[in-house]
Amino acid sequence: MRLVTFKRCGEDREQVGVWTDGGVVPASALGLEFDSMNDLILRATPDDMAALRAAKAEPIPMDRVELQAPIPRPMQDVLCLGLNYTEHAEEAFGYSSQAFTSDKASPIFFSKRVNWCPGTGMPIPAHADLTQRLDFENELAVILSKDALNVKPDEAADYIFGYTIVNDVSARDLQTTHKQWYFGKSLDGFNPMGPCITTADAIAFPPCLDISTTLNGELRQNSNTRMLIHGIAEIIATLTRGMTLKAGTIIATGTPKGVLMGMENPVFLKKGDVVACRIEGIGELVNTVE
């Protein structure tokens, strides 16, 4: 099942619904009232989820809706994995050995402040007054379905609500100047997300999904999530060891090789560039730098 946040064309009100082959079925058309996707994750019962899967109502055609990020306003910072694909770790080390070091034995965690997420089709702000080294990172993101504490690896799948795509936009100059990643990852608009949440029941665990990115139509990243150094079960088990992760927590699992800083002579994002992030089973997240 693919869940979306959307607006009817010409309206300001956000709604949640199910993305079907015929369009979007609003949850309200099924007699279900949720204020937001966060509210759905926190309150939906098994019967509610079954009604959403059945989606027995007339869909709104796609040309009459505007997709938003599935979770436009996360309840807390997005948790992220750094250097979690071997070849990306190598290209990052080549760009800055001081800022990007990893022994691969333990996951590298960081977080990014996200006040609002652009959805597919929405712009990425260039922040040209702050950065001249704007980069993309296509990542599989995991959304938790319930509070998680001291989760064992073989229990991790039971805590997953679904998956989406996150473009972990990064200002490389800020990232390296400050010797930490929070500021360079957290400027407004730096967390495009979408186009939907594919619920966990629709994807085998652990996910082995093709992941690719094009820049202005040119293939830049091309890998599979089975190449994660630290898999999702390990990530959840490690992060919940003595720390409670709340329902609705978003975890971005890392990006594969092919980001711009890995080029021999990097040419970073500029206004007008179109970044298209694709992950099998979820769809395509397309954003233009503005």
Mean pLDDT, range 87-92, rounded to an integer: 71
Q: Is residue 222 predicted with pLDDT exceeding 80? A: yes
Contact (Cβ atoms closer than 8 angstroms) between residue 112 and residue 186: yes
pTM, entire model: 0.94
Average pLDDT of the residues of the chain: 95
Q: Name the E strands within 75-156.
A: 78-82, 108-112, 134-135, 138-144
pLDDT at 93 over 60: no
247 has a pLDDT exceeding 90: yes
Range with the poorest average pLDDT among 88-97, 165-174, 218-227, 279-288: 88-97
Inter-CA distances, 287 with 8, 21, 156, 196, 259, Å: 20, 23, 32, 15, 16
pLDDT in tens, 173-219: 999 888 789 999 999 999 999 999 999 999 999 999 999 999 999 99
Q: Cα separation of 266 and 72, whole Å?
A: 31
pLDDT, position 86: 80
Q: Which domains are assigned to the chain?
A: 2-67 (no CATH), 78-288 (3.90.850.10)
30 CB neighbour count, 10 Å cutoff = 17
Cβ within 8 Å of residue 47, ≥6 positions away: none
Laid out side by side, the sheet with 218-224 consists of 218-224, 210-215, 274-279, 283-288
**Mean pLDDT across 19-27:** 98
Low-confidence winner among 78-92, 147-161, 258-272 (lowest mean pLDDT): 78-92
